[in-house]
Amino acid sequence: MNKRAVILTTFIAFSFAILSWRLFDLMVLRHDKFVRRANIQQSQEIEIQVRRGVIYDRKGRDFAVNIEQKSVYFDPSKVLGPAKTAYRVSGVLGVDRRRLLKRLKSGKRFVWVKRKINGKTIRKVEKLNLPGMGLIPESERIYPGGVLASHVIGFVDIDNHGLAGIEKSYDKFLTSRGGKIRVSTDARGNILLAGDELESSGNSLVLSIDEVLQFIAEKAIDKAMDKWKAKSASVIMMNPYTGEIFAMANRPAFNPNSAGRYSASRRRNRAITDVFEPGSTFKIVTATAVIEEGIFGPYSRFDCSAGYIDVKGKRIRDDHKHGILTMIEVIQKSSNVGTIMMAEKLGKEKLYSYAKRFGIGEKTGIDLPGEIAGWIKHPDKWSGTSIGAVAIGQEVAVTALQVLRAYAVIANGGYLVRPYVVSKIVSPEGIEIYSGYHNTLKRILSKRTVVLLRQMLEMVTRKGGTATEASIDGNNIAGKTGTAQIFDRKKHRYSHKRFVSSFVGFFPAEKPKIAMIVVIKEPEGNIYGGVVAAPVFKEIADRSLVYLNVPRDDSHSKNVVYVSSAHEIKRDY
């Protein structure tokens, strides 16, 4: 009996020793290893689905919002019968069965099956109740306005990453609260947390764009594109004092709700990515320079009666013969001859210097992706004929926004501003964390020169000017037409069939509310900016003034007097 007791006691003690050692091994020596293994088996690391911040117009109207959807995924390690599972799922979701089967056999812990499905399909998926299958809540980006302001807003990919426009340039702000978290799962791999715990919200953007002004601009260029069978068109409306963009429209356009269906050409923001020779809209640079330098004044006279001028063997003509013109009339009638006479007296170094002062050949700094700087050659690289070409807007490449910013200098009293489209960024808690307006205004022209130029530009829309079709009843318009030949790089000469027609200006002329440019590329039937672009400007300006409730001007400015056929300016500084 004693021997049996000893053996039994020894056996029990030995068993407890083994068990104790095993527990020590599991709980102490290999504790971390098994905890990690348990975490892997009982949880998954999931990317937090960021609900992108909403994008609003300046008055709080929605440009980009989110709607709730769900996405289907699998944990292949928990799938029972991959072939059968692939067959059943492909029939419900309409995905490729072979491709799905390959994913289910991949050995990964997480594979997508189909993203962002609708409610009816969700119910069918839930009825399948397959091992390893789960649903994750996701938000889908929706653009209520469709094509409206599409080039400014941009679009996102399937993972809600910004690919163009504001969606791209402010992506980190719109999705600033992302990341990964580890979530608990049940035996089938289903996530045990509520949907809200898997989401976070980004900051929202308030744009300077006004939805109504944007609509007015887009409808006007739609009509122009149809009338002139043009290749493309752009309109920009801006606050000349602050640089706020009120509207930026391009044609052709695209719908960001289905951006992938459109070519890259249609999705391009031509207002800041496409360059062209400005033509006569550049003449304001030449006029500014000679006034600022004291070389010519508004009453200086130029003999343009020949109808042409020779520059180092190259003959440059006016569209129509003129007699002796004052400087005012040179701008009003857009005389190439008179403008080149100014430039020859000014000199190429000064002309180049003033072009750079206006920001020609430099990016404006707008907060949109893809802006092109354009170019203007340094005078060291000019040919003998360049002084004549540059003076009238040839051998220069600009964007529509660059030209508009230059004219805003005249409108705002002589300051160069930085354009922008995001007015402020607001956190999910409603706190403003960023303001888009941070212009350090730099005066580049004297007040005297600005007053003269502003009144000269107003003459352009009056009788005898090149843009009478831009004038509207009740308010004075100031601006300049542009008609530029497109350089044919294959033939190495300017085309006689392809033109860019434009009009740029501001209104009301005395106290401008808006600076605006209209650019129509390759119109058919007519080429002149005063005929093609000026009426578009008029239509937009007229409707915008009504919308903004801007009061009518007097019929004449107190500083402008019209004397017979000569339009002269009385200065009242």
Of residues 40 and 246, which shows the higher confidence score? 246
Beta strands in 75-132 (DSSP E): 111-117
DSSP character at residue 156:
B
Q: What are the angstrom distances between the C-alpha of 37 and each of 31, 185, 226, 301, 514?
A: 10, 14, 66, 91, 65
pLDDT of residue 310: 97
pLDDT of residue 555: 43
Mean pLDDT of the region 467-482? 95
pLDDT score for 1: 62
Q: Is 183 a residue whose pLDDT tops 70?
A: no
**How far from 438 is each of 319, 424, 434, 511, CA to CA, in Å?**
43, 11, 10, 22
Place 137 in a pLDDT band, splitting at 50, 70 and 90: confident
Higher pLDDT, 51 or 194: 51
Question: For residue 147, is it within any domain?
Answer: no
The reply to whether 351 falls in a domain is yes
What pLDDT, on a 0 to 100 scale, did the predictor assign at position 573? 23
Distance CA 362, CA 386 (A): 20
Contact criterion met (CB below 8 Å) for 498 and 485: yes
Q: In this model, does residue 276 exceed pLDDT 70?
A: yes
Residue-wise pLDDT for 407-426, tens only, equals 999 999 999 999 999 999 99
Q: Dihedral sign, CA of 63, 68, 69, 74?
A: positive
Higher pLDDT, 24 or 238: 238
Instruction: Give the pLDDT score at 234.
Output: 98
Nearest to 246 by CA among 408, 54, 5, 416: 408
DSSP-based three-state secondary structure for 547: helix
The C-alpha atoms of residue 516 and residue 503 are separated, in whole angstroms, by: 8
Query: Any idea which of 43-47, 130-134, 225-229, 445-449 has the lowest mean pLDDT?
Result: 43-47
Q: Has residue 198 been placed in a domain?
A: no
Share of the chain above pLDDT 90, in %: 65
Average pLDDT score over residue span 253-268: 96
Q: What is the pLDDT of residue 454?
A: 95
Residue 275 sits in which domain range? 211-421+437-569
Could you tell me the two tokens for 521? Answer: 């590329």
- Considering only residues 206 and 136, tell me which one the structure prediction assigns the higher pLDDT: 206
Nearest to 567 by CA among 411, 448, 430, 462: 462
Residue 475 clears pLDDT 70, i.e. is over it: yes
- Partners of 566 in the β-ladder: 563
Beta partners for residue 425, in sequence order: 205, 434
DSSP summary character for residue 388 = H
For the cut 80, the answer to whether the pLDDT of residue 361 exceeds it is: yes
pLDDT at res. 153 = 98
Q: Identify whether the C-beta of residue 500 lies closer than 8 Å to the C-beta of residue 482.
A: yes
Q: What is the CA radius of gyration of the chain?
A: 34
Pure H helices in 171-317: 171-174, 211-228, 264-267, 270-273, 283-292
Give CA–CA dist 117/100, Å, rounded: 17
Average confidence score pLDDT of the chain: 88
Q: At 393, which CATH number? A: 3.40.710.10
Model confidence at 121: pLDDT above 90? no
Q: Is the CB of residue 392 less than 8 Å from the CB of residue 280?
A: yes
Residue with tokens 């091992």: 131
Q: Rounded distance, CA 102 to CA 486, Å?
A: 54
Distance, first Cα to last Cα, the chain = 128
**Cα distance between residue 211 and residue 193, in whole Å:** 40
Residue 551 lies in a domain: yes
With cut-offs at 50, 70 and 90, classify the pLDDT of residue 191.
Answer: low
Single pTM value for the model: 0.82
User: Domain for residue 555, yes or no?
Assistant: yes
Tell me, yes or no, whether 108 lies in a domain: no
Beta bridge partners of 224: none
Q: For position 572, what pLDDT does the model report?
A: 30
Which burial class, exposed, middle or buried, applies to 381 when counting CB atoms under 10 A from its CB (0-12, 13-18, 19+)?
exposed
pLDDT per residue as tens digits for the range 378-408: 999 999 999 999 999 999 999 999 999 999 9
What's the pLDDT tens digit per position in 227-259? Answer: 999 999 999 999 999 999 999 999 999 999 999
Q: Which residues, at least 6 apart from 412, have a Cβ–Cβ distance to it below 8 Å?
A: 240, 241, 512
Instruction: For residues 311-319, give the mean pLDDT.
Output: 94
326 has a pLDDT exceeding 80: yes
Give me the mean pLDDT over the 490-517 stretch: 94
Q: How many domains does the chain have?
A: 1
Has residue 478 been placed in a domain?
A: yes
Residue 481 forms part of a structural domain: yes
Task: For residue 392, give the nearest of 317, 327, 462 by alpha carbon.
Answer: 317
Residue 464 to residue 437: CA distance in whole angstroms: 40
Element (DSSP H or E) covering residue 433 = strand 432-435
